[in-house]
Structure 1
Amino acid sequence: MGEWVRAWLEEQRRQGEKCLEIKEIQGKPYVYRSTSVYDKTTKSPKKVSTYLGRLTKDQGLIAKGKRGQSIPMPPRSVREYGNAALMAEEFGEVLPVLREAFPTCWQEIVALTFTRIAGYTPLSRVEDAWEKLDNTLALSADCDPRTLARVLIEVGGDRTAQQAVFRHLSSQAQQLVYDLSFIFSHSDTVNLAEFGYNAEGVWLPQVNIALFSATDTGLPVMIRALPGSVRDVATLVGSLAEIDTARTTLVLDRGFVSEKNEQILTEAKIPFVLPQRRNSVRYATRIHLTDHFFYHKRLIHAGKREVDGLTLYLYEDADLAVEEQKTLYRLLEGGEIDRETLNQRLKRAGRILILSSITAPPQEIYELYKSRNMVENHFAAFKSLIQADKLYLRDATAVFGHVFIGFLCLYLYCRILNRIKQAGLSAHLSPQGLLLKLSKVYAVVYEEERRMTEVPKQVRGIAEKLNLGIFPNR
């Protein structure tokens, strides 16, 4: 029996209360009035206990059938801290640029980016998603759907402000990878959308998207929505005129192979790396494979030769050559190709021919060519983030704004992904998975006092591996 229980019982006895008894049930005190009556059957006294109520330290005796008075709790808010703190840290570099470029709506841009990085969030749900996050940046974003719709139009119509952001992101890039993709639109009022060829074989209006990524930082640096079915470099050169290309190299794909495109790039003095099609007549150029190197444990033989002011690089992947040879012989046995076709294709099995305006060691050009995988992954992530196949927007200006917000989501996504890769956790953890785990840590505010909930052991272990400084030491 606790001391406070004894003190209460003694006080009741001093006040004249008699026959009170305290019984502890599961560690809690209960008050009974115990008396005795004569039992004629046993001809002896019999104890009779009557339950009076529960005893509490704060409210004393709470009589049977009554409830204790509820203790008023101070106002409080509970918000997700861990994921919000990580996004604020990774987005910190671009915040000053956004604030200067979009002074009237930069806070709404940040709110849209933070709430959409884990997946597409309709404008009608952004406010609810934003209120769940801890406001670590002390922003006062207006997340009303009508306000956000106006923000998308304002952002999409201010190309100069977008250009300032792109110029900042590309200022440290040494090589740029360029690729084209598309997004579908079900709107009849978007004049950018036109019917055209796509790998999915879907006959819907599509908006062409050009994405530039930096091979040295692994981050996207610029995006553009383009009209029509664009597959030449004229538009590309126009887009590059808006950023500093003095120290960049363009890595293109085979779809840009043409004499006209090569001439435009050469006249614009833009260094480029352009892989050739497998049926290119340039494969007939004699190039001796005098060099070799290893790429991801694969043996690559290489050689180069200058032709008409440009340089041809020839590579032979030993592992790829064996696989292509097996495939060709299976086609021969299946009657799909004849012996003459087999002999022609065997000469190019495992070989890759690249045309470039720069002269460098073959291994350097090959690694630039392989960096195209990065921009293709960026496009896949971009489409997933904005759910572009469900694009219902009223005009081209809104499309520009929507694409720009999607680009910022992709930038933040890649920043988090780079941190995961540096820690060697990319095989087990994705950016969305990391944000979900960090969301288990909350910031709780009681009136003027702010506290953070306990960090789970697994989350703290991941934070230490990622070298995150968002959790205070305990």
Structure 2
Amino acid sequence: MDEWARGWLEDQRRKGEKCLEIKYIQDKPYVYRSTSVYDKASKSPRKVSTYLGRLTKDHGLVPKGARTPTIQPCTIHEYGNAALLEEESSDLLPILKDAFPGHWQEIVALTFTRISGYTPLSRVNDAWEKLNNGLEIAPSCDPRALSRTLTAIGGDRHAQQQVFQYLSSQSNRLIYDLSFIFSSSDTVNLAEFGYNAEGVWLPQVNIALFSAMDTGLPVMIRALPGSVRDVSTLVGSLAEIAAPGGILVLDRGFVSEKNETALIEAKIPFVLPQRRNSTRYEIRIHLTDHFFYHKRLIHAGKREIDGLTLYLYEDADLKVEEEKTLYRLLEEGEIDREALNVRLKRAGRILILSSVKAEPQEIYQMYKSRNLVEDHFAAFKSLIQADKLYLRDATAVFGHVFVGFLCFYLYCRILNRIKRTGITAHLSPQGLLLKLSKVYAVGAGEERRITEVPKGVRKIAEKLELDIFPNA
């Protein structure tokens, strides 16, 4: 007798049921009630068995004449991560519906399945089917359909512009930065061979990313032709998408008279830090102001020159560190006394040229905001670079970059939520999505329920003020 059958029988006997017997017929257990009666003919007891029903491991005793209960097929989907993505994209979904009425559902599927890492078009359908469909949409996730979607949205510049204009309207100040992504396709006319900091000689597609200084969110992106170090190739695109209050914050690699002239003629406001060997450091600027930046004392001053403004800053802490370094180099014979005296005059100092007239502290904060955009670029390129852009034409590149931008937008929204709680050292957006994926939505027929929320996930949800678990 099987152990589970023996256990059932013992349980019935403890409940007071008597005379039960299990018989195996064709290796299946059946339950009988066996008693004895006196047989007058044989003058001895005779066993009488009454058939009660079939015994099953899942349903116990199935009475005689009754059907075995059927097990409803269950559907299991990842609920927690899908619910977070739906919540963070709630403001953007109406804009996508309006801008891309024929493709917005496919855009959502691509974005939700790619935010945690690169997902090839051939795997999007499998990844989408794992997620709980709280939006109740029906995207076509066939690879060929998704490929057509990327081309369609890449070619619809006006629709992309609707999305960018909405996002940029939520900010009072935009910060721009420029970078590139490699392409291994020889048919993308946007890709050009050129110098890059990684020292790789491959065709690269130049990218301009626009982020909101006040919200910390990306608001626009553009794939551009030409060299990323030549401002004149960017002027047309920047003029097309620049929003009121937008300021182009560049790095020292853009310092040149040609670039400055191009920006001034195009009337594009800019903030451009100068190289340490710039002759503009010789212009006398009195440090009459001061402020604190992240508890660091900053002395500041400004001076107008040729219609532009030079802003000079001296970081007191940085000055001490640089002076120590310079004297150590002197003792080691790396520099002579003359070089020491020249470099000591610029120790801890930062010189910025700008067409914007503002308080020194405001310009300094814009300059420091470049760290935000640089971090944004690093995260964006990690999301999109996995594909290496094996795309056939510029239109496909635009579509691919746009979907990557939407993934990145959601990534930054989740990151901002984590930053507000101060746990970025222990949790990343991808890590949060992975933890939330432990909560499932289980459906059987018309019945649907959310599985128990693990204690660790519940604590994180409470810290992040996530209201995505019903009855949690």
- TM interval, shorter chain, is 0.7 to 0.9
The residue identity in structure 1 corresponding to 2:308 is L
Question: Relative to structure 1, is the Cα distance of residues 347 and 56 closer, same or farther in structure 2, using a 3 angstrom cutoff?
Answer: closer
Partner of 1:9 in structure 2? 18
Question: Relative to structure 1, is the Cα distance of residues 178 and 58 closer, same or farther in structure 2, using a 3 angstrom cutoff?
Answer: closer
CA displacement at 1:233 relative to structure 2: 2.8
Q: 1:249 aligns to what SS in structure 2?
A: strand
Asked whether the equivalents of residues 181 and 205 of structure 2 are also in contact (C-alpha less than 8 Å), the reply is yes
Asked whether the equivalents of residues 213 and 219 of structure 1 are also in contact (C-alpha less than 8 Å), the reply is yes
Pairwise mapping of residues 60-459 of structure 1 onto structure 2 (< 5 A)? 60=61, 71-243=69-241, 245-388=243-386, 390-459=388-457
Asked whether the equivalents of residues 62 and 68 of structure 2 are also in contact (C-alpha less than 8 Å), the reply is no
The residue identity in structure 2 corresponding to 1:136 is G
For 1:193 and 1:58, locate their aligned partners in 2 and report how far apart those are by CA, in whole Å. 65
For 2:148 and 2:56, locate their aligned partners in 1 and report how far apart those are by CA, in whole Å. 61
The residue identity in structure 1 corresponding to 2:138 is S
Partner of 1:65 in structure 2? none
For 1:34 and 1:55, locate their aligned partners in 2 and report how far apart those are by CA, in whole Å. 23
TM-score, normalising length: structure 1: 0.86
Cα shift readout 1:261-297 (whole Å, capped 9, x = no counterpart): 3333334443322111111111111111122222112
For 2:215 and 2:58, locate their aligned partners in 1 and report how far apart those are by CA, in whole Å. 63
For 1:61 and 1:125, locate their aligned partners in 2 and report how far apart those are by CA, in whole Å. 44
CA displacement at 1:184 relative to structure 2: 1.2
Report % sequence identity: 73
For 1:264 and 1:213, locate their aligned partners in 2 and report how far apart those are by CA, in whole Å. 22
For 1:282 and 1:306, locate their aligned partners in 2 and report how far apart those are by CA, in whole Å. 12
For 1:363 and 1:464, locate their aligned partners in 2 and report how far apart those are by CA, in whole Å. 37
Q: 1:440 aligns to what SS in structure 2?
A: coil
CA displacement at 1:217 relative to structure 2: 0.9
CA displacement at 1:214 relative to structure 2: 0.9
Q: 1:241 aligns to what SS in structure 2?
A: helix
For 1:265 and 1:6, locate their aligned partners in 2 and report how far apart those are by CA, in whole Å. 90
CA displacement at 1:325 relative to structure 2: 2.2
Question: Relative to structure 1, is the Cα distance of residues 137 and 60 closer, same or farther in structure 2, using a 3 angstrom cutoff?
Answer: closer
Cα shift readout 1:2-55 (whole Å, capped 9, x = no counterpart): 678757536x6xxxxxxx69xxxxxxxx999999xxxxxxxxxxxxxxxxx979
The residue identity in structure 2 corresponding to 1:157 is G
For 2:273 and 2:131, locate their aligned partners in 1 and report how far apart those are by CA, in whole Å. 46
Cα shift readout 1:344-401 (whole Å, capped 9, x = no counterpart): 1111111000112222221111111100000000010011111357221111111111
Asked whether the equivalents of residues 185 and 391 of structure 1 are also in contact (C-alpha less than 8 Å), the reply is yes
Q: 1:213 aligns to what SS in structure 2?
A: strand
The residue identity in structure 2 corresponding to 1:366 is Y
Number of residue pairs matched by the alignment? 439
Q: 1:9 aligns to what SS in structure 2?
A: coil
CA displacement at 1:404 relative to structure 2: 0.8
Asked whether the equivalents of residues 250 and 272 of structure 2 are also in contact (C-alpha less than 8 Å), the reply is yes
> Which ranges in structure 1 are unaligned for 5 or more consecutive residues?
13-19, 22-29, 36-52, 63-68
Asked whether the equivalents of residues 117 and 413 of structure 1 are also in contact (C-alpha less than 8 Å), the reply is yes
The residue identity in structure 2 corresponding to 1:226 is L
The residue identity in structure 2 corresponding to 1:466 is L
Question: Relative to structure 1, is the Cα distance of residues 56 and 209 closer, same or farther in structure 2, using a 3 angstrom cutoff?
Answer: closer
Asked whether the equivalents of residues 209 and 225 of structure 1 are also in contact (C-alpha less than 8 Å), the reply is yes
Question: Relative to structure 1, is the Cα distance of residues 4 and 351 closer, same or farther in structure 2, using a 3 angstrom cutoff?
Answer: same
For 1:57 and 1:407, locate their aligned partners in 2 and report how far apart those are by CA, in whole Å. 50
CA displacement at 1:149 relative to structure 2: 1.0
TM-score, normalising length: structure 2: 0.86
Asked whether the equivalents of residues 177 and 212 of structure 1 are also in contact (C-alpha less than 8 Å), the reply is yes
Partner of 2:40 in structure 1? none
CA displacement at 1:84 relative to structure 2: 0.4
Alignment root-mean-square deviation, CA: 2.9
The residue identity in structure 1 corresponding to 2:143 is P
Question: Relative to structure 1, is the Cα distance of residues 157 and 55 closer, same or farther in structure 2, using a 3 angstrom cutoff?
Answer: closer
Moved over 4 A (4+): 1-8, 30-35, 53-59
Asked whether the equivalents of residues 177 and 248 of structure 2 are also in contact (C-alpha less than 8 Å), the reply is no
Asked whether the equivalents of residues 167 and 244 of structure 1 are also in contact (C-alpha less than 8 Å), the reply is no
Asked whether the equivalents of residues 110 and 124 of structure 2 are also in contact (C-alpha less than 8 Å), the reply is yes
Q: 2:241 aligns to what SS in structure 1?
A: coil
Asked whether the equivalents of residues 239 and 268 of structure 2 are also in contact (C-alpha less than 8 Å), the reply is no
For 1:456 and 1:182, locate their aligned partners in 2 and report how far apart those are by CA, in whole Å. 42
CA displacement at 1:97 relative to structure 2: 1.1
Partner of 2:27 in structure 1? none
Question: Relative to structure 1, is the Cα distance of residues 446 and 365 closer, same or farther in structure 2, using a 3 angstrom cutoff?
Answer: same
